[in-house]
């Protein structure tokens, strides 16, 4: 019997568009039999709120927001070696790998494990193009 898959959603709670996108993504990933968690101050059906320190093992973090939210996600994932997929729903979006995609396409990629893999930086498997040294996280 296979182990249930899990993901964490990091969402900008002040952007209604980010919360709505996270809700749609959550519904699709729940149908794909994921356990879902968030460290964000949002309430999404089927997603368990968790403190960062109590977050269980997850296979991917999906960040929905702008660069600030992506930095928060990077801080959460880098020491845990959790792959990170950033989706820009902010104004600037320099760090996002994906800009306003069809959420169903994101869900399919996560479920199929076909999200592009980057080797730069090598300690993060799926990554927004962050240069950790210039963000102060490295």
Q: Active-site residue 67, yes or no?
A: yes
Task: Tell me which of 33, 53, 67, 120 is the catalytic residue.
Answer: 67
Q: Are the CB atoms for 86 and 70 separated by under 8 Å?
A: yes
Closest Cα partner for 87 from 6, 34, 28, 17?
A: 17
Angle of helix 103-112 versus helix 16-31 axis, rounded to 10: 40
Tokens of 114: 């076909």
Catalytically annotated residues: 67
């Amino acid at each position: 019997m296979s182990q249930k898959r899990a993901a964490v959603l990091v969402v900008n709670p002040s952007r209604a568009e980010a919360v709505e996108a996270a809700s749609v993504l959550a519904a699709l990933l729940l149908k794909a039999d994921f356990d879902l968690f968030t460290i964000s101050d949002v309430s999404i059906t089927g997603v368990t709120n968790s403190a960062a320190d109590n977050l269980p093992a997850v296979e991917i973090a999906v960040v929905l927001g702008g660069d600030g939210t992506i930095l928060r996600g990077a801080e959460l994932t880098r020491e845990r070696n959790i792959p990170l997929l950033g989706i820009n729903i902010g104004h600037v979006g320099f760090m996002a790998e994906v800009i306003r995609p069809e959420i169903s396409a994101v869900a399919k990629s996560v479920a199929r494990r076909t999200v592009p893999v980057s080797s730069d930086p090598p300690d993060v498997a799926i990554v927004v193009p962050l240069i950790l040294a210039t963000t102060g996280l490295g």
